C-alpha cells in the first residue's frame, strides 16, 4: 500500500475514533429538565433557579391578557395570548434579564449554568 494511502486511512481512522468519542460524551450528558412557569396576575411568579443549559422552561399564560417573555439581549421573545403556552430551551449559559413588552412591572432574571 502506498504511503499516501496509509496516511489517508490513518487520518480517517483517527477522525472516526474521535467522532465516536465525542458522540459518546454527548450521549452521556443527562437530558435537560422541563420546568413549568405559570404567568398570572401580570406576574411571572416564582422563576426557576438552578437552571442548566439544555433545560426547558414551559411558560403558561393563565392570565386574561397577553404577555411576553422577552430577553433584554434579544436572544428570545415569546408572545403568549391568554391560555397559550410556549417552550424555551436554554441554549447557552449566562444570565438573562427578562421582561414583558406590555407590562413594565413584569421583570425577572433567569440564570443558566453550563451542564
pLDDT tens digits along 19-36: 444 444 445 566 799 999
Report how far residue 90's alpha carbon sits from residue 37's, in angstroms, rounded to the nearest whole number. 14
Residues 6+ apart with CB under 8 A from 66: 79, 80, 81, 82, 102
Question: Are 74 and 96 within 8 A, CB to CB?
Answer: no
Segment 65-111, tens digit of pLDDT: 999 999 999 999 999 999 999 999 999 999 999 999 999 999 999 99
Q: Report pTM.
A: 0.74
What backbone torsions phi and psi does residue 76 show, to the nearest 5 degrees?
Answer: -155, 155
Question: Are 98 and 37 within 8 A, CB to CB?
Answer: no
Amino acid at each position: 500500500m502506498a504511503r499516501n494511502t496509509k496516511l489517508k486511512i490513518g487520518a480517517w481512522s483517527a477522525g472516526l475514533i474521535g467522532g465516536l468519542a465525542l458522540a459518546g460524551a454527548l450521549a452521556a450528558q443527562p437530558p435537560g429538565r422541563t420546568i413549568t412557569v405559570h404567568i398570572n396576575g401580570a406576574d411571572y411568579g416564582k422563576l426557576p433557579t438552578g437552571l442548566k443549559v439544555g433545560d426547558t422552561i414551559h411558560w403558561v399564560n393563565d392570565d386574561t391578557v397577553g404577555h411576553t417573555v422577552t430577553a433584554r439581549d434579544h436572544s428570545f421573545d415569546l408572545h403568549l395570548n391568554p391560555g397559550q403556552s410556549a417552550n424555551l430551551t436554554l441554549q447557552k449559559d449566562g444570565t438573562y434579564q427578562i421582561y414583558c413588552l406590555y407590562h413594565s412591572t413584569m421583570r425577572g432574571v433567569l440564570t443558566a449554568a453550563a451542564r
